[in-house]
A and B are shown apart, each in its own frame.
Chain A
């Protein structure tokens, strides 16, 4: 490498200042002007995170949000060369550093997970849609589903509540399925019961509905005609909403 150790060190010191605000041993700069770089770098991070997590930004206490973004910007070495993917690293950093406990926001991980999934689905590369037929036997045949989806399990209903007190009051087991509409590219989400979340998970694994129903007693679920018929009704409704594509030909 042609770069001298000194120049390398200068570049490191400058970039570290931009991320952390700590002035290292750096000469030959206008210190008042350096502050602009730090501000600009932080603003890029802040803008990207506000855009990616609009619900969190709008509803978490401003001081906590600012503290999180500043810590992330200064402490985390971002690996993505695409700015739009940086918020995934923010979410991961939040989980790894137990920000939900540190900032006393028990539902933080759920909220960041939900918002990231929405953004990721909206932007992600197109996945091939398998060949399918529209008609078939709902119980016996393999049901083909929209491949662009995320099935998420939450402790808190962050997908439908923004009020902290209401969110905390409704701690439990929540399931949300997000998927991208083929024509518009818009992301839809539906709340699922634990049973339907299990059904969707198994259908995505290629299990037929009759086999899923046969397994239900192991989950302490009593299989009745009503359960079967209501599950089929749900899937038929999902076909009209383009989550269910059809049946394997």
Chain B
């Protein structure tokens, strides 16, 4: 199944399903909780039409401060209300000094951070009564790292029991920015734990830096990395992320079609939105 992020900019068209018709949609609970009026009506229409996965923004699992219990309570309630099948988040932090920053900051690759994050993932999973699927984020500088990124990720997965959200574009961006081999990096990950894939576009802002913008079409080398990667994975849902600089919708449908063709080429069987080995 190949889905797309549910954006307000083309919500009506998604619901109409004529110019664009993904297999599922994804949205951030934070953008839709405690909402009424026009947008709530559209949200209900979208949820009636499509299966929904949720991708959170404000959990801040890597934050040095305690988890926000009120936030967790609202997210849990929201996921239950809309019968969300999969909830994913980011291996990063967005809150520190009791201040939200609304962006994904890189966590130091350190063993104490592994233990800290793993324990918090377990707390969230226990409270939510569902597995978390954690995304490997793009980052532009390491921060006081004491271990490799792949070891850091693998240890979190091992200690927490979470699943992985493999954002193939992020891996491409990170490999370019930090000068490592994307394929080798992916090979070092616990690929049997991948439960979800994201794909997106990016922007090269300087000769040695790419920013993960979600504002451009996916480029061919990222498609190639995706195709090479999914051959090593069980079938999982794949999402096209497009958050800014929206093209005509048939162009987005073209990207969905291309992703789906690659999936169909290598994954002979269909799959549920949530894989069974959680």
A-to-B contact residues, CB < 8 Å: 1-4, 7-8, 10-12, 14-16, 18-19, 26-30, 33-34, 36-37, 40-41, 44-45, 48, 76-84, 86, 121-127, 148, 180, 184-186
Contact = CB atoms under 8 A, between A and B. Distances in A.
A45 B102 contact: yes
A82 B38 contact: no
A28 B142 contact: yes
B97 A15 contact: yes
Interface in B18-43: 30-31, 33-41
Given A2-B115, A10-B143, A83-B30, A37 B97 contact: no
Contact of A78 (B38, B99, B115): B99
Contact of B97 (A4, A12, A26, A30): A12
Interface string B131-147: 00000000011111100
Contact of A29 (B39, B96, B100, B144): B144
Counting from the closest, the 10 A-B pairs by CB-CB distance are: A185-B38, A77-B99, A185-B37, A28-B144, A2-B115, A126-B36, A15-B96, A33-B141, A81-B58, A30-B141
Nearest to A187: B37
Contact of A16 (B33, B41, B58, B97): B97
A29 B102 CA distance: 21
B102 A44 contact: yes
A81 B39 contact: no
Contacts of A26: 143-144
Interface in B187-216: 205, 209, 211
B161 interface: no
Contacts of A29: 141-144
A148 to B, nearest CB: 8
Contact of A125 (B36, B57, B103, B108): B36
29 contacts: A1-B64, A1-B116, A2-B112, A7-B112, A7-B116, A10-B143, A11-B62, A11-B108, A15-B96, A15-B97, A15-B99, A16-B97, A28-B144, A30-B142, A33-B209, A36-B140, A36-B205, A41-B102, A41-B103, A44-B102, A79-B98, A81-B95, A82-B33, A83-B31, A86-B102, A121-B37, A123-B39, A126-B36, A148-B37
Contacts of B31: 82-84
B93 interface: yes
A79 B41 CA distance: 27
Interface of B: 30-31, 33-41, 57-58, 62-64, 68, 71, 93, 95-103, 105-108, 110, 112-113, 115-116, 119, 140-145, 177, 205, 209, 211
Contacts of A2: 112, 115-116, 119
Nearest to A34: B141
A180 to B, nearest CB: 6
A19 B113 CA distance: 22
A120 B209 CA distance: 38
A180 B102 contact: no
A18 B105 contact: yes
Given A15-B101, A28-B142, A28-B143, A81 B37 contact: no
A122 B144 contact: no
B144 A27 contact: yes
Decide if the interface of chain B is mainly helix, strand, loop or mixed: mixed
Nearest to B64: A8
A186 to B, nearest CB: 7
Contact of B101 (A27, A36, A41, A122): A41
B37 A14 contact: no
A81 B71 contact: yes
Of A2, A11, A78, chain B has the most CB atoms within 10 Å of the CB of A11
A44 B57 CA distance: 13
A79 B106 CA distance: 21
A34 B41 CA distance: 41
Contact of B34 (A40, A77, A125): A125
A144 B190 CA distance: 61
A11 B68 contact: no
Contact of A11 (B38, B40, B93, B141): B93
A126 B40 contact: yes
A127 B101 CA distance: 30
B141 A3 contact: no
Given A10-B108, A28-B143, A33-B209, 15 more contacts: A2-B112, A2-B119, A3-B112, A7-B108, A10-B144, A11-B93, A11-B96, A16-B96, A28-B108, A77-B97, A81-B68, A82-B33, A82-B58, A124-B36, A180-B37
Given A10-B143, A16-B97, A82 B34 contact: yes
A122 B140 CA distance: 37
Of A4, A15, A44, A185, chain B has the most CB atoms within 10 Å of the CB of A15
